[in-house]
A = this chain, B = another copy of it.
Amino acid sequence: MALRAVGSTYPNPPVGAIIVKNGFIMSRGWTQPAGTPHAEIHAINQIKNKKDIKGAHLYCTLEPCSHKGKTAPCVNKIIELKFSKVIISQIDKNPLVNSNSVKKLRSAGIEVVIKNFSSELKELNNIFFNSIRDNKPFITLKIASTADGKIATNQYESKWITNSTSRMVGHKLRSLNECMIVGTGTIRKDNPILDCRLEGLSNLSPDIFILDRKVNLKKNLKIFGNKNRKIYVFYSDKVKKRILKSKNIKYIKIREVNNELDIKTVVKTVSQLGYMRILVEGGAKLSASLLNENLIDEIFWFRSSKIMGNNGINAISNLDINKVDHLKKFNLTNTKTIDNDQLSIYKKK
């Protein structure tokens, strides 16, 4: 249930809830988009006669909230409807909750059990905790390359190195992430839209952060065409240019390091805006700066079975690595064959 919500809950964590009575599942819920019900309420809402809930057990992948955000605290509703038991996979490490709900439930006479449901779930909740406590969002790097690791020809042609099914998986990946960071190079060369073009999932297109140090990008680019999502432009604090204000575009100043926008500040700023999952689809320079700072948590590497040779553009630009010992190490966690392409999923070691 929690996994169903991934990518659509910003700035809330994706949570799942199940209501059980007499050994039967009465209803299932998951976090709805911000401002609409949390998982517990989503599950409760599906039960017509609320009186039936009395005595039921509630399973939650995360401690229910005790604070009022855009919606009322879930814990009040749980007490009001007289659940007899709440089983929670993890305490919410968000300082605004942090066992408050557990205490509230217990003092209302409701039995509370805290018991880890699965390691996969722990990983999922950790993404939220890391974001809220350390401003460390979860960053996925997506690469689509030839077998020899090239993402485009020396003429910047990349259509299409991987097959159409791989590209659909790529679009699914966009729907699972709340935002994307992209460099000006990619925007200028490819003029991409960077939305999710899978039928029924277009409303899950990620918000966009563009690194446009010198504020050079023109407004007629495709990326600025979709007015239904937020677009942020990061530019250098050294730029004196006047910034054109625009309704769906926000400009944010970022400090410079070595003639680049400081990537650590970029990531922190994105996190402070509430984004927990960031997708990066290159280019090679942005991927390299994130790798250099060990900010990549996961890599989705799509490889076609084609070879380009060394005059193509590398997936990852210079990392200043001169020794095998210093290579950036990942764990290979999953592999899939997609027709004649191959997808390898790596996670931070």
Q: A307–B324 contact, CB under 8 A?
A: no
| Shortest Cβ gap from A312 to chain B (Å) | 7
Q: CB within 8 Å of B: which of A69-88? A: none
Report Cα–Cα, A308/B330, bound state, in Å: 12
What range describes how many residues of A lie at the interface? 35 or more
Most chain B CB within 10 A, of A288, A317, A318, A332, is at A332
- Any B CB within 8 A of the CB of A310: yes
If A316-B148, A340-B332 touch, whether A153 touches B323 (CB-CB below 8 Å) is yes
Encode contact with B along A125-167: 1 for CB under 8 Å, 0 otherwise: 0000000000000000000011111100111011111000000
A327 touches B311 (CB 8 A): no
* Residues in B whose Cβ lies below 8 Å from that of A322: 153-155, 157, 311
Question: CB of A302 within 8 A of chain B?
Answer: no
Which residues in chain A, 17-46, are within 8 Å of chain B measured between CB atoms?
Answer: none
Q: Indicate if the CB atoms of A319 and B323 lie closer than 8 Å.
A: no
**By DSSP majority rule, is chain A's interface helix, strand, loop, or mixed?**
loop
Q: CB of A110 within 8 A of chain B? A: no
Asked whether, in the complex, the Cβ of A341 is within 8 Å of the Cβ of B337, the reply is no
**In the bound complex, CA of A315 to CA of B309 (Å):** 8
Instruction: From B146, B284, B328, give the contact of A306 (CB < 8 A).
Output: B328
B332 touches A310 (CB 8 A): no
**Are A342 and B344 neighbours in the complex by a CB distance under 8 Å?**
yes
Within 8 Å of chain B (Cβ to Cβ): is A320? Answer: yes
Per a CB cutoff under 8 Å, which of B159, B309, B327, B330 touches A321? B309
Q: From residue A346, how far is it (CB to closest CB) to chain B in Å? A: 5
Interface flag for A291 (CB, 8 Å): yes
A234 within 8 A of B: no
- Across-interface contacts of A317 in B (CB, < 8 A): 309-310
* Given A305-B346, A306-B329, A335-B342; A153-B314 close (CB under 8 Å): no
Judge whether A191 is part of the interface by a CB distance below 8 angstroms: no
Closest 4 CB pairs of A and B: A149-B149, A309-B319, A306-B327, A310-B314
